[in-house]
């Protein structure tokens, strides 16, 4: 009887070691069935707090509670075998203090069995990142356009258009790297700044609306599949699932109204 070989998940050190190597492929996912599809092609899957807007109709990510992230994170882990699963720490779960951040990050990891957490913020979160990593919690950082701070930023604004602001972003990148983050997401950042940061720091950069020079890329799955009513400039739409779903639902409704469904093929005799 042949012994089934269990697939080994991509690890945090393996992602960190990809700096300057083959581009890192990543997407968001929020449920087991889409995660199982993405798992075949992605190096890591992010359970992003964008699920608040994409799945739950929220106006921003600020209202996403910790328990919701845990529920979706658990589903993604169960639906995958290969990819590293990273779960976002939602707004309010880590900013108060490093000890509060540790308690909530540990809760996420224990209850979802994910491989790492992600939190937003540069130099201001360096102490927290160091506190977590020194206690065994791998952290992916997130700088540039940080959606949880959209109210302070005045909306979802591209970062780095004014070259006078570059030094602050570069300092953020260096700070999270020095604090022990194994990778950093660069969001909504002008291309030359993202490329410059990628060359400056020793950890992988993951671009979303940044630069092809980043060490990897991530998109929101629903955006690139054409399921979102509006997509940012930086999204390339690889499929039109929204149109396909609407067409299928329309045909189903027509069949039900005309009593064409269920037909002889779909009933029991």
Q: Is there a binding annotation on residue 97?
A: no
- 93 known member of a binding site: no
Is 2 known as a binding-site position? no
95, 83 in Cβ contact below 8 A? no
Strands 116-120 and 216-219: unpaired
CA angle 71, 234, 26 (to 5 degrees): 45
Among candidate residues 187, 250, 251, 264, the one labeled active-site is 187
Two tokens at 235?
A: 């999204």
Taking each continuous run of H as one helix and of E as one strand, the counts in the chain are 11, 8
Examine the residue annotation and report whether 187 is marked as an active-site residue of this protein: yes
Cα–Cα distance, 181 to 86 (Å, whole number): 13
88 carries a ligand binding annotation: yes
Cα separation of 237 and 143, whole Å? 24
Alpha carbons 188 and 191: distance in angstroms, whole number: 9
39 is in an annotated binding site: no
Q: Which residues are annotated binding-site positions? A: 49-50, 88, 118, 120
> Among all residues, which ones are annotated catalytic?
187
Q: Which residues are annotated binding-site positions for 3-methyl-2-oxobutanoate? A: 49-50, 88, 118
Q: Which residues are annotated binding-site positions for Mg(2+)? A: 49, 88, 120
């Amino acid at each position: 009887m042949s012994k089934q070989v269990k697939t080994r998940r991509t690890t945090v050190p393996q992602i960190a070691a990809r700096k300057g190597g083959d581009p890192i492929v990543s997407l968001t996912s929020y449920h087991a069935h889409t995660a199982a599809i993405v798992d075949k092609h992605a190096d890591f899957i992010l359970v992003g707090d964008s699920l608040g807007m994409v799945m739950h109709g929220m106006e921003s990510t600020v209202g996403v509670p910790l328990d919701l992230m845990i529920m979706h994170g658990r589903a993604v882990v169960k639906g995958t075998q290969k990819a590293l699963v990273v779960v976002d720490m939602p707004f309010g779960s880590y900013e108060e203090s490093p000890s509060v951040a540790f308690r909530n990050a540990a809760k996420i990891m224990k209850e979802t069995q994910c491989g790492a957490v992600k939190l937003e913020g540069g130099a201001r979160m360096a102490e927290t990142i160091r506190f977590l990593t020194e206690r065994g919690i791998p952290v992916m950082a997130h700088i540039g356009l940080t959606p949880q701070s959209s109210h302070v930023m005045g909306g979802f604004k591209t970062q780095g258009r004014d070259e006078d602001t570059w030094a602050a972003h570069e300092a953020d990148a260096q700070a999270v790297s020095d604090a022990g983050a194994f990778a950093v997401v660069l969001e909504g950042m002008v291309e030359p700044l993202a490329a410059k940061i990628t060359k400056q720091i020793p950890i992988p950069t993951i671009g979303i609306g940044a630069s092809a020079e980043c060490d990897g890329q991530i998109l929101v799955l629903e955006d690139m599949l054409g399921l979102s009513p509006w997509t940012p400039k930086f999204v390339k739409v690889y499929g039109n699932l929204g149109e396909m779903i609407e067409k299928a639902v329309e045909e189903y409704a027509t069949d039900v109204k005309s009593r064409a469904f269920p037909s002889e093929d779909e009933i029991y005799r």
